[in-house]
Structure formats: C-alpha cells, structure tokens
Structure 1
C-alpha cells in the first residue's frame, strides 16, 4: 500500500491544522467546563469536595479532547466529537439542576 505525500505548504493543510488547534483549545475548554459543572453537581460530599472532584475530572478531560482533535479522521469530525461531548455534559449538568445549598 502506497503512502501518499502530504503537501504542507498549501492553505488546505494549514486550515486543517488551524481548525484542529481551535477544537483542541476552545473545544477542550468547553468540554472541561461542562464536565466540571456536571461532576460538581453530582458530588455527594460537601460543596468544596464536589468542586475539587469536578475540577480534577476537567483536568483529565482537556488532554483527552486535545488528543481527539488531532486523531480524528477530519477536522469537522473532531469538532463534532467535541460538540457532542460538551452538549452531553452540559445537558447532564442542566438536568441535575442547581447545586444544593
């Protein structure tokens, strides 16, 4: 099977990389914040413990989303995965409702 050479000078390649970098940065921030909200609202312990647990989960989500952005088959598929995850975690946080006082 022949490997096709990639022209790294063209605008298509640079645009592809730019879209993936945006998915890896902006998208990872969105997923991490939605995940932190969902985990913090699911927290059974005290409020501080729930926020710390949510933040720690968000720290794990950021590199995972960044890796996904560059492993995905195409740049729009990368964004699709990021948007689906953010919507899933954001919807979960919204369904749980406001945190208990």
Structure 2
C-alpha cells in the first residue's frame, strides 16, 4: 500500500501528460478555427500546432515542481483557450 501512495504523484503526472496534454492540444486545434481567415488553413495549422502544444504540455507537466502545479497549469491554459473553442462549437 505504501508503494502505491509513493507512486501517486508520478501516476498523476503521467495522467496529466497523457490526458491533459491531449485535451489542451485538442482545445488549441479547435480554437484556431475561430481565427479569421481560410477555414481549411486554420484547421491545418490547428492540427499541426496541436502536436507542438501537446509536446509542450508534457514537458511542462514533468518540469513543474509538483503534480498539483502541473494540473493547475494545464487547467489555466485550457481556460484561456476555452472561450475560442466555445465560439467554434456554438457556430
């Protein structure tokens, strides 16, 4: 039981990197569609940029000083992208 509790922060970071990074990349991809310009180009740049955003999120998660700060940082970044994604989803 103690070994599982000791591995908790690491498992939390792995979950944050995998699921939180994916969610942040998906939000970024959708948010770029809200930008003015050609929709097909925005979709392409959103898809390409989502890989960069996901990679940076993974780096951020493992560079943060604690697992809670990693989740907090991902949440703040997601909240910043959410209004743009809502514009696309409501259209």
TM-score w.r.t. the length of structure 1 is 0.78
Unaligned runs of at least 5 residues, structure 1: 1-8
List aligned pairs for 1:70-85, cutoff 5 A: 70-85=62-77
Structure 1 contact 43–49 (Cα < 8 Å) conserved: no
Partner of 1:11: 4
- Number of paired residues? 89
Q: Which has the larger radius of gyration?
A: 1
Structure 2 contact 13–62 (Cα < 8 Å) conserved: yes
Larger fraction in helix:
2
Partner of 2:88: 98
Q: Runs of at least 4 residues of structure 1 off by over 3 A?
A: 9-13
Unaligned runs of at least 5 residues, structure 2: none
Aligned-residue RMSD, C-alpha = 2.0
